């Protein structure tokens, strides 16, 4: 697999420290509010990446933090603590807020078919580890105490800006919007490792430390959690592109200073989900959630499909119209799969192997999920039998996680439900409001279901399957009359 590395600014052959095993870390949510669908785009793409690595044959140990303390309103250690902000907003304790929104986050992930990582670690559960590493950085001369806090000293580094070639003057404190000067810092790029009571007397969560009662800074959490559960060598670190600076930059600085060797070889950043007015964010009030999508009548997997149609390193513009288009395409895709016969027999291993190799090649080029979606349609158009097509689609869905076969089975079951009238020409079933099946004489739910399945196959342009069903019905003495928008069957 070739994957773009944000640290080197180029696509590289993916390699790991231990052959066959991936140590993977994902920056998790700050659980002071619901995740919006822009946040969840990153988690969808990281989920696909993990599943593709497993599809390639890797063993993957994926670790995710839950930030329930220490993340201030600005990523540069200024402003109000986000968890305290959430607690004040809802008049609840910080830990109640953390529990509620952690559960809500994983409910959203489940609705989007996002796998839960092997390790999920709340920051509040690892305070002793943070203190141990901060103490080590002080001992090594990479940190200092000032004003009651502990800071990382970026002047000790030969190279601080990893992901961008910044001019230091361009990042001057006070020039960048939303960044206030901290008089305790020796250098403008230094960052907090541990806060004491000098920062927020009313901080809800506090712990004893060698430097006084306080709480950890946001950046130290991810480094410590990864080092504990991934080890000293991290293969793959994921997050949104807005985390690259300063959060991931600071993670690299403190981790490599503490370890004394390179820490993470591959950085994977997902770009923003935008609206017509710009980047989606909670602070701007553009707060679209999975629950809201459900209220609007969308299947959450239609949103996953929407995200997979675009490349993760491109900004994606969200609108109701764009989501409508994706939802319609997803529904049509499911219909086409539902028109395949699941009882046709065994798949052809050569066909499955052929398309698997193609899928590996296409998606393995920098996680090109849009080409993976194209590959789905190529399979449906292929001159292969239905059993082989279904086997290939099921194989691809190990990575794409669109519930293709499950949704298709539900569609077939829905089409098989008939409601015959008591006499005359009976009304059978409707294909998504577009097609009716009627019968003359005695009703037969099985025959009506087959006629409807034939109509569905024709709509999906699966004419071979439609002809097969027609021949089967003819052999059973059933005559079909097709009319605009409906079919009527009778026994002859």
Burial of 177 (0-12, 13-18, 19+ CB in 10 A): exposed
Q: Where is average pLDDT lowest: 159-173, 336-350, 420-434?
A: 420-434
Q: Where is average pLDDT lowest: 17-31, 232-246, 426-440?
A: 426-440
The pair of three-digit structure tokens given for residue 419, joined into one six-digit string:
């409601």
pLDDT reported for residue 460: 81
Residue range 395-409: mean pLDDT, rounded: 97
Residue range 334-354: mean pLDDT, rounded: 91
Map tokens 């800071």 to a residue.
151
Residue range 456-477: mean pLDDT, rounded: 87
DSSP structural state of residue 246:
I
Instruction: Give one DSSP letter per residue of 311-328, joined into a string.
Output: -TTS-EE--HHHHHHHHH
238-294 tens-digit pLDDT = 999 999 999 999 999 999 999 999 999 999 999 999 887 666 665 555 579 999 999
Interatomic CA distance for residues 188 and 179, integer angstroms: 10
pLDDT reported for residue 371: 97
* 28 or 201, higher pLDDT: 28
pLDDT reported for residue 84: 78
Interatomic CA distance for residues 461 and 45, integer angstroms: 31
Domains along the sequence of the chain with CATH: 2-270 (3.40.50.620), 295-412 (1.20.120.1910), 417-491 (no CATH)
Mean of pLDDT over the chain: 87
pLDDT reported for residue 200: 55
Q: Are 258 and 223 in contact (CB under 8 A)?
A: yes
Measuring CA to CA, which residue among 432, 460, 485, 489 is closest to residue 341? 460
DSSP structural state of residue 121:
E
pLDDT reported for residue 14: 97
75-126 tens-digit pLDDT = 556 667 787 778 788 888 888 999 999 999 999 999 999 999 999 999 999 9
Map tokens 């044959």 to a residue.
57
Percent above pLDDT 90 for the chain: 62
Tell whether omega for the bond before 237 is within 30 degrees of 0, i.e. cis.
no
Interatomic CA distance for residues 476 and 428, integer angstroms: 19
Axis-axis angle for helices 249-259, 127-139 (nearest 10): 70
Pairing of strands 21-26, 59-66: parallel
């Amino acid at each position: 697999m070739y994957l773009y590395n944000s640290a080197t600014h180029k696509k590289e052959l993916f390699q790991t420290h231990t052959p066959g095993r991936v140590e993977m870390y994902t920056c998790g949510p700050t659980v002071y509010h619901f995740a919006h669908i822009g946040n969840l785009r990153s988690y969808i793409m990281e989920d696909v990446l993990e599943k593709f690595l497993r599809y390639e044959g890797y063993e993957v140990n994926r670790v995710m933090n839950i930030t329930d303390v220490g993340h201030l309103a600005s990523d540069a250690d200024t402003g109000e603590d986000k968890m305290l902000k959430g607690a004040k907003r809802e008049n609840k304790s910080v830990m109640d807020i953390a529990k509620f929104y952690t559960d809500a986050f994983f409910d959203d992930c489940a609705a989007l078919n996002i796998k839960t990582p092997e390790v999920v670690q709340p920051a509040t559960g690892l305070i002793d580890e943070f203190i141990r590493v901060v103490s080590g950085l002080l001992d090594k001369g990479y940190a200092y105490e000032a004003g009651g806090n502990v800071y990382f000293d970026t002047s000790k580094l030969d190279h601080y800006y990893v992901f961008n070639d910044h001019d230091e003057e361009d990042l001057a404190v006070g020039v960048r919007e939303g960044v206030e000067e901290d008089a305790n810092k020796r250098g403008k790029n230094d960052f907090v490792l541990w806060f004491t009571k000098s920062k927020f007397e009313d901080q809800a969560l506090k712990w004893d430390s060698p430097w006084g009662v306080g709480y950890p800074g946001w950046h130290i959490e991810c480094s410590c959690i990864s080092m504990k559960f991934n080890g000293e060598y991290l293969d793959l670190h994921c997050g949104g592109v807005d985390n690259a600076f300063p959060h991931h930059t600071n993670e690299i600085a403190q981790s490599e200073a503490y370890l004394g060797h390179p820490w993470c070889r591959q950085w994977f950043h997902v770009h923003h989900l935008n609206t017509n007015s710009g980047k989606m964010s909670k602070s701007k009030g553009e707060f679209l959630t999975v629950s809201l999508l459900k209220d609007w009548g969308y299947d959450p997997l239609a949103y996953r499909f929407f995200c997979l149609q675009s490349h993760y390193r491109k900004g994606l513009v969200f609108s109701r119209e764009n989501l409508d288009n994706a939802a319609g395409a997803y529904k049509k895709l499911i219909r086409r799969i539902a028109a395949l016969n699941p009882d046709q027999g065994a798949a052809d291993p050569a066909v499955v192997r052929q398309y698997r190799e193609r899928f590996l090649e296409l998606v393995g080029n920098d996680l090109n999920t849009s080409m993976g979606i194209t590959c789905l349609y190529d399979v449906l158009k292929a001159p292969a039998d239905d059993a082989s097509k279904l086997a290939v689609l099921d194989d691809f869905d190990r990575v794409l996680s669109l519930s293709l076969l499950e949704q298709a089975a539900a569609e077939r079951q829905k089409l098989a439900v008939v409601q015959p009238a008591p006499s005359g020409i009976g009304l059978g079933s409707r294909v998504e409001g577009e097609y009716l099946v009627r019968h003359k004489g005695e009703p037969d739910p099985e025959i009506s279901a087959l006629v409807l399945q034939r109509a569905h196959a024709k709509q999906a342009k699966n004419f071979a399957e439609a002809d097969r069903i027609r021949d089967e019905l003819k052999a059973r003495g059933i005559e079909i009359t097709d009319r605009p928008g409906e079919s009527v069957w009778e026994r002859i």
